[in-house]
Amino acid sequence: MPNDDDQQVSSIRFLSHAPRNGRRSQHGTPTHPFGEELLVLQQIGILPTILSRLIQQALRNGTTVEQEFLTCDYMTAQDYYARLADLLDLPFMENLPTQQIFDSEFLDSQLAQPAIIRLYDKTRPPVTVIAPEARRLPAIQARLRQSPEFAASLAIATPKTIADAAWKVGAKRRAEAASAQLFHASPQHSARTVLTARQAFFAGLLIALACFGTVTATQATWIGIHTLLSLLYMGTLWFRSLLLFQNVRKPPAPPLLLSASTCLPTYTVLVAIYRESAIVPQLIGAMRQLNWPASRLDIKLVCEEDDAETLAALNAITLPSHFEIVLTPALGPRTKPKALTYALAGARGDYLVIYDAEDRPHPDQLKEAYAHFIMAPPEVACLQAPLIIANVADNWISSLFALEYAALFRGILPSLSHYKMPLPLGGTSNHFRTDILRKIGAWDPYNVTEDADLGLRLYRAGYRCETLMRPTLEDAPTSAHIWIGQRSRWFKGWLQTWLVLMRHPRAAWNTMGGKAFLVFQLLIGGMLISALLHPTILVFLGMTLYAMLDKPTTDIPLRETIMFWIDLMNILGSYLVFLALGSAAMTEGERKHIGWRAATIPIYWLMTSRAAWKAMIELKTKPFFWNKTPHMPTQQVAA
């Protein structure tokens, strides 16, 4: 049997946050659907002209007048709830003493829909703090008139105050859960274990054989190694060539559109921001440009609690009411996926999108994503928007980075989506059905390319990813040092993703299907092989050429001739397909910035190889280290 305190909390929860219903007359027939809240808003002094506009917005957006009022910046939430407290003759609390709040599973419900929280003090009876909805105020007033002593146990606070207290009180528990939930629920899908015992055995055996072969290798051994590596390299080249032909044949479809009368759901936007104080104003401006009703937006800026510089920059700006700063405790791996998984507990939206701090998404991207979701079958759980490099003209590194991004996001991924293959997602502009994201365990906090891992995990769980048309603008690194740091993190994450999937190859084949399994090997495995082997193929090409020049033409063995042409095709083909895939997906304005810089593709590929080998070393020495890529604000727009 519940005690009196439990009954009281249940009663107040009903009064403060009940499902919406219209006001009723004496005979029980509905009158104005916003009757109660309009009466309350009039009592606190809101002008009829403003109320009329808010009613229209509420009817259009499927919200309440109060929700529209709180997002129109006519009055701060502090002032509004203080006036509600005056109407109820209850105390208003600007801050809550967190030491008087017990951590429990109930607290998690107050992150997404903050309405009620309980304070316990040894010196007095418990106090229930509520953030009442205007339409429930008449019922609360009636309850207080019936039980005047009830008022002694009540207080008013803003939803933000309640949510902030709930975040703070349960921070350690949630941070530990965010770090360990995937590992505990599905250890076979977590990169927390870098190598299984079986994988470690085979890796050690391979290294031992390589060392033994290097020392004792005969000419036949070297010929065999040369042939095997060249054919592996060629396989990845042919796969990319097929994707190029598919991309050329299939023109992109126009973006889906919503009708003007469509009632939009709540959309959560998560932005993990770390040591990015300089870019804060640009970020806030980009988020303000999203073409979505503010009353239906839930924008969470996820920051590390010890990142004082970024927090100071955010606190210097008056954020709109639909923005929230979520502080991530310094527990577990200091990675973006850990921060995102931590913040997911407070997501209010039926749909959710991830952006990076430097992103400038197309204002209508959310609308295209929602239109795509409602037209797509339910197994489509994620949509990837294309990422376009805005600073393509800065230097040769940013130009070739833009070429690479164009190939991936406007060529390869749409082709894979067309054939219903698994997509290695980009780290930003991923749109999700929130319930499915939670169901599969969200992001792996130990995988440093959590996006690629999540795309594969969704596919193995029976879901699919598709692509959008409206882009997100980003800036590429312009220095080799920063580029290699970023790219080595990507390679390390792709290695983690490959190792996780290959713990049980037969099970992966069965869950994905043979075709998807082979595509994964060619895409992720091929990307790793081509980067790691590129210098080796160059060396083989040079050795073969030297051997051929050292002999008369008539004495050159057929094997050497064949391997020479294979290696030459591998190298030149890699450069040409890289250029063709990117150029085919670019606009004319983007292509004009490539020009002579295409001649630096061999250098770019050698940098890629260096980053791949750096990733191999880091996988052993610091597998979960997140190499942060710094960003600066920009006004550039891709042509």
pLDDT tens digits for range 319-353: 999 999 999 998 888 899 999 999 999 999 999 99
φ and ψ at 478, to 5 degrees?
A: -115, 0
Spatial separation of the C-alpha atoms in residues 586 and 482, rounded to whole Å: 24
Least confident of 95-99, 284-288, 522-526: 522-526
Quick one: average pLDDT of 261-268? 90
The confidence score (pLDDT) of residue 631 equals: 76
Which of these ranges, 66-75, 207-216, 231-240, 552-561, has the smallest mean pLDDT? 552-561
**Mean pLDDT in residue range 167-176:** 94
What's the rounded Cα separation, in Å, for the pair 610 and 192? 25
Rounded to a whole number of angstroms, the distance between the first and last alpha carbons of the chain is 68
How far apart are the C-alpha atoms of 334 and 332, rounded to whole Å? Answer: 6
Confidence at residue 32, expressed as pLDDT on a 0 to 100 scale = 59
What would the mean pLDDT of 404-428 be, rounded to a whole number? 91
pTM of the model: 0.89
Looking at per-residue pLDDT, the higher value among 359 and 231 belongs to: 359
172 versus 232: the higher-pLDDT residue is 172
Task: Tell me the per-residue pLDDT of 286-298, one tens digit each, with 9 for 90 and over.
Answer: 999 999 999 999 9
CB-based contacts of 567, cutoff 8 Å, min separation 6: 230, 537, 540, 541, 544
Evaluate if residue 569 carries a pLDDT over 90: no
Mean pLDDT (whole number) for 344-367: 96
Helical spans, DSSP H, in 17-136: 35-43, 48-61, 65-71, 77-88, 105-112
Cα dihedral across residues 571, 577, 578, 583: positive or negative: positive
Q: Tell me what pLDDT residue 399 has.
A: 94
Please check the confidence at residue 456 and state whether its pLDDT lies above 90: yes
pLDDT in tens, 11-31: 444 444 444 444 444 444 444
| 502 vs 34: which has the higher pLDDT | 502
- The confidence score (pLDDT) of residue 28 equals 41
Task: Kindly calculate the radius of gyration of the chain based on its CA atoms and give it in whole angstroms.
Answer: 29
What percent of the chain has pLDDT above 70? 90
Torsion angle, alpha carbons of 79, 84, 89, 92, to 10: -50
* Inter-residue contact 461 to 440 (CB < 8 Å): yes
**Sequence-ordered strand ranges (E) for 182-315:** 267-272, 297-304
Residue 74 has pLDDT above 80, yes or no: yes
The amino acid at residue 14 is F
Q: What is the pLDDT of residues 464-475, one digit of tens each?
A: 999 999 999 999
pLDDT at 100 over 80: yes
Contact between 169 and 103 under an 8 Å Cβ cutoff? The reply is yes
CB atoms within 10 A of CB 62: 16
The predicted structure's pLDDT at residue 78 = 94
- Half-sphere exposure of 369 toward its Cβ, with a 13 Å CA cutoff? 33
Place of tokens 């999700």: 432
Extended strands (E) in 3-42: none
State the Cα–Cα distance between residues 521 and 528, nearest whole angstrom.
Answer: 10
The band of 274, judged by pLDDT with boundaries at 50, 70 and 90, is very high
**Position 632 pLDDT exceeds 90:** no
The answer to whether 564 touches 545, Cβ cutoff 8 Å, is yes
Tell me the percentage of the chain whose pLDDT exceeds 90: 56
Q: Select the highest-mean-pLDDT range: 185-189, 256-260, 268-272.
A: 268-272
Most confident of 50-64, 245-259, 562-576, 624-638: 50-64
Confidence of residue 638 (pLDDT cuts 50, 70, 90): very low
Position 434 pLDDT exceeds 70:
yes
pLDDT value at 10 more than 50: no
Q: What is the pLDDT of residue 310?
A: 94
One-letter amino acid of 290: L
pLDDT level of residue 572 (50, 70, 90 thresholds): confident
Instruction: Determine which of 144-153, 251-260, 521-530 has the lowest per-residue pLDDT on average.
Output: 251-260
Give residue 265's pLDDT. 95
What's the Cα-to-Cα distance from 131 to each of 91, 93, 294, rounded to whole Å?
A: 12, 10, 20
Q: Are 338 and 179 in contact (CB under 8 A)?
A: yes
Mean pLDDT over all residues of the chain? 86
124 band by pLDDT with thresholds 50, 70 and 90? confident
574 pLDDT exceeds 50?
yes
Task: Count Cβ atoms within 10 A of the Cβ of residue 225 and give its class: 0-12 exposed, 13-18 middle, 19 or more buried.
Answer: middle
